[in-house]
Structure 1
Amino acid sequence: MQGFVISVARLSVWLVVLSIIFVPLERLYARTPAKWVRPQIGNDLFYYFFTSLVPAALLALPLALVAKLVALIVPAGLHAWVHQLPVWAAIVAGLVVADIGSYWGHRLSHEWPLLWRFHALHHSAEHIDYLVNGRAHPLDIIWVRMCGLVPVYILGLGSTAGAGPIVPAIIAIVGTLASFFVHANVRWRFGVLEWLVATPAFHHWHHSKHDHINRNYAATFPWIDAMFGTLYLPKQFPADYGIPDPVPTTIVGQMIAPFAAAPVPERTR
């Protein structure tokens, strides 16, 4: 119980810090008119805490099992070579490998109807800002994170040798910070840098409601989308956000909707 209280307190502090950073920016440089109170903001505040605590707890056991299984199956020579990499090289490799893995997990969440049932919640937001980052079903988060982290462990980039657990830790930190940033309601553009690292313009197109949907799946590196043919990065932002099909507005409804008999229609290309 004490650990839970400490985690909630830590997340509360970070929420204040994030709000101090993003609230003024989203009013000074808003892509769309910003409101102090908008629909679903209460739900998004709940999801900020919920999706920070629950998926992390549920991932601990599967990742431990993956690490044990990898140690038994993957040739020791591969890991021995990886463990000799400089720390900076292991970090860069880990970030790229994790982003490629999560790219495919994310893409499959759009292309497989069963996975889309869980992912639709995140795309139900009709106004994009930094708090929308947390609006997601916990099973959706677990799926995408597993897709990103399992290859890291298979290659030995997440073991206790070599660069050690610093690689998964940095992947988590970079991924978290980038996720809040790319959802921010800001109209900034970054020129050629937008082709190298994810920006709000890049990710906002991923949330487009009608035009050029199912694009820009990468979490950190847009060139991964370019490599797999899903990059779309025009000069303008999308006209609107969300999905045509309704998603329940209550938290309980949003949690149980993916398990309902009638599937949430997948997004068509």
Structure 2
Amino acid sequence: MDSVAYATKEWLEEHGATCVPLSYHFQGESKPEEKPGEFAPFFRAFQESDEWPTTSQPPVGVFQEVFDRLTANGDEVICITLSQKISGTYNAAMLARAQSRSEQIFVIDSTLAAAPELYLAELAYQAGKEGKPGAEIAEELQQVIPELRFYILVDTLDYLRRGGRIGTVSAALGNILHIRPIITFHEGALTSFDKVRGAKKAVEKIIDSIPEDARWIRVQHVLAADKAEEILARLRASHPKADVGPAEIGPVLGIHVGPGTIGVAFR
């Protein structure tokens, strides 16, 4: 998987999984994206800086090295990436697969990012433990993807403006009127789900969008742990049978939405 799945070091070790990092360039340095628990220093520096970071996908050669190493002993590989409509990571993995000339590699475009990627990786791991072949696992994941949803609520429109996703006037008016856009993925692309006046109403809109029979829910955040915990408490009470838990959003996705952002993913 790529780093935008935001798997913890513990999860990677426990599952024997490999994370291929995307990178970001900021304040004269290029760095591979860190793991959850390590994001705060970047976001604090980002808040205080006028510089806009840039991000880059993993090189094809990095994917190829990982694929060659993992298939050397005959193992099959399930590689899950963030949506190809917001990053070239999927295409890089597909090129590496072609160069490896292996039929044991299955590259999956999650059409999403962050927690849904990690959820798919967990499903793949469990299916592998059951002895299912790679082709069957890949097919099962493709059937699950349309059932996943991911809503993102930003704290301020300034970061969307700085990233060029909305205009300066729209951002200024939105902040003055306390308009909060709820962003989602549609067919792999980031798009507006709704625009709500006031953060509390926006949170209610997202919570109301989660069906009663949801089986898996993740609340992600960018430097907003307290806000995320309040939402988690409500969802644990309203969905007692669901797997409800917290997660973080890192630099590669977080620079576009900014600190204070909340993301809610569910199936």
| Alignment TM class, shorter chain as reference | under 0.3
| Structure richer in helix, relative to its length | 1
| TM-score after normalising by structure 2 | 0.25
Higher strand share: 2
Whose RCO is larger (CA < 8 A, sep 6+)?
A: 1
